[in-house]
Structure 1
Amino acid sequence: MFWVLLLLLAWAFAGTACTRLCLTAVRAATVDTDVAETTDVPTADRERDLTLYEAAFLSGGPARVADVTLVSMARQRRLLLAHTGWATVVDPRGRDEMERSVIGAIGPEGQSRIAPVRARVAGAEAVCRLADGLVRAGLAVPDGAGTTVGAAVRQVRAAALAVVALGMTALLLPVQTGTPRLLVGLWFALPLTLSLSCLALARFEVHPYARWASPAGQRLLGTLVHGPAGDERSFLTSVAVRGVRAIGEPELRAAFAHRDQPWRE
């Protein structure tokens, strides 16, 4: 009856994962409701058009805000982004606090690797204030809250795979008198059905599993209207929503794709 121990283990995996998913989904919905009820920003203001930086944050978080700022300055020829991964300041006068954060992150020498600049800008006070404002407006989820549902879904998927593996192991065990293999398979089908049912419900009830944007923020992102082809605003909006993969220029894209190599003697 060793297969019974495997069955209990399968139920433990499935039950724990599904319980966590249900709790995190309820918690996420509660957080969104609480934010909407306690925000001091009127509902009409939450339906306003998003700025470029707000769209970037809701789509990809602080790092996306840094990317959009760098790309915007590079397109205006006020910042040089080399395909080797270096950023050079051309115009040291930032037009807003995000651009000033970029210039400050590059440093007084006016040149720095792009990777550390992105990291510094993502943690700058200007980005933190932007995030706080979006949370108060009910457009962004509090820090860390958006990761829990996605992590719970991944745990349920892993539990389903574990149930399948345990069931196959039980079926491969030597035949025991009085226990048909079909019956063993049916017992393992129960925790598997539970896991798959939770995944299906999560797909329709709490999908997409956004890390940064609340449901209200996701709706605003879905209403973003791109300008005519080739329009600068449209280009930057695409970068804000899709990230650096939306960049068409090979050299500019290479600047973000470049990775530092170990020093060689």
Structure 2
Amino acid sequence: MFWVLFFLPAVVAAGLSCGRLCLAAVAAARPQPHEERERELSCYEAAFLAGGPYRVADLTLVSMHRARRVLLAHTGWVTVVDPVGRDDLERSVITAIGPGGQERIAAIRSGTAAADAVRALADRLTGAGLAVPDGVRSGVNASVRTVRGACLLIAALAATALLMPGEGDTGRAEIAAWFALPLVLTLGCLAIARMEIHPYTRWASPNGQRLLGGLDPAGDPLTALAVRGLGAVDDPDLRSALTSGRFAHRSQ
């Protein structure tokens, strides 16, 4: 019966991780306070709700490039043309570029995404009930990672129990069946989370998603970039430049 010593931790891991995920799901489903009046989204706001801080950085860079305030090279470098930003986000880009007037796009995107101007934009959208609070999103993501870890732990404990020398009347098939219970529980929670909780882990809340759905990006390249991401950029050289360092951040 030594296999029971491996089975009990598997049950505890499954119960605690799934319970944590359920609590995170309840927090994510709780309605957020929102503005009663209707409003229109700016391009920056749409970019944040659709793709987060890095989408805002992409939009700012393309906007400045189109206005000839910076030059984006297909090699992945940005050169300052006009060092005076028109708003806080443009000034964040210029600050990220640095006094040399030239910097890699990947570094600029990281610096701009972490700037105070983007955090202020996120706070405004969260306060308006249009963006998912960072604590809710991070709580759900951490809970999902915990359940995934529990799955791996249960599988490892089951393998260890099955590799032990046979004892008593308990066969390997029966041991496997017992371990299948917590494994099915955790895998089931992950499947339900993917279907039910995933929308709450996006940047936009349900109200924000509704406003995003009302935008028409046709005919406006900046709005198309804000809503659809880099795939909406027609210029292959510009798209290649913006793609530099992008996959490290999964910021499409």
- C-alpha distance in 2 between matches for 1:155 and 1:246: 35
- C-alpha distance in 1 between matches for 2:100 and 2:176: 68
CA gap of 1:186–1:108, structure 2 versus 1, over 3 A, is closer
Gaps of 5+ in 1: 260-265
Corresponding residue for residue 23 of structure 2: 23
Determine if the alignment matches structure 1 residue 218 to structure 2 residue 204: no
Determine if the alignment matches structure 1 residue 239 to structure 2 residue 225: yes
Corresponding residue for residue 127 of structure 1: 118
Corresponding residue for residue 203 of structure 1: 194
Q: What TM-score do the two structures reach when normalised by structure 2? A: 0.83
Gaps of 5+ in 2: 246-252
Which of 151, 169, 174 is the matching residue for 1:178?
Answer: 169
CA gap of 1:249–1:214, structure 2 versus 1, over 3 A, is same
CA contact (8 A) 2:28 2:200 kept: no
- C-alpha distance in 2 between matches for 1:104 and 1:51: 23
1:144: how far off? 3.5
Instruction: Render the CA deviation track for 1:173-230: whole Å, top value 9, x for unaligned.
Output: 3222311223212211211222133223323332224252222223333343331xxx
Corresponding residue for residue 181 of structure 2: 190
- C-alpha distance in 1 between matches for 2:202 and 2:195: 17
1:81: how far off? 0.8
SS in structure 1 of the partner of residue 134 of structure 2: coil
Q: Which amino acid aligns with 2:230?
A: V
Corresponding residue for residue 240 of structure 2: 254
Corresponding residue for residue 140 of structure 1: 131
CA contact (8 A) 2:150 2:186 kept: yes
SS in structure 2 of the partner of residue 220 of structure 1: helix
Determine if the alignment matches structure 1 residue 4 to structure 2 residue 9: no
Corresponding residue for residue 262 of structure 1: none
1:74: how far off? 1.5
- C-alpha distance in 1 between matches for 2:142 and 2:206: 18
CA contact (8 A) 1:73 1:79 kept: yes
- C-alpha distance in 2 between matches for 1:57 and 1:244: 14
CA contact (8 A) 1:145 1:211 kept: no
| Over 6 Å off, 4+ runs | none
Aligned residues: 245
Q: What TM-score do the two structures reach when normalised by structure 1? A: 0.80
What value does the CA root-mean-square deviation take over the aligned residues?
Answer: 2.5
SS in structure 2 of the partner of residue 206 of structure 1: helix
- Identity score, percent: 59
CA gap of 1:108–1:93, structure 2 versus 1, over 3 A, is same
CA contact (8 A) 2:24 2:136 kept: no
- C-alpha distance in 1 between matches for 2:241 and 2:61: 11
- C-alpha distance in 1 between matches for 2:115 and 2:198: 31
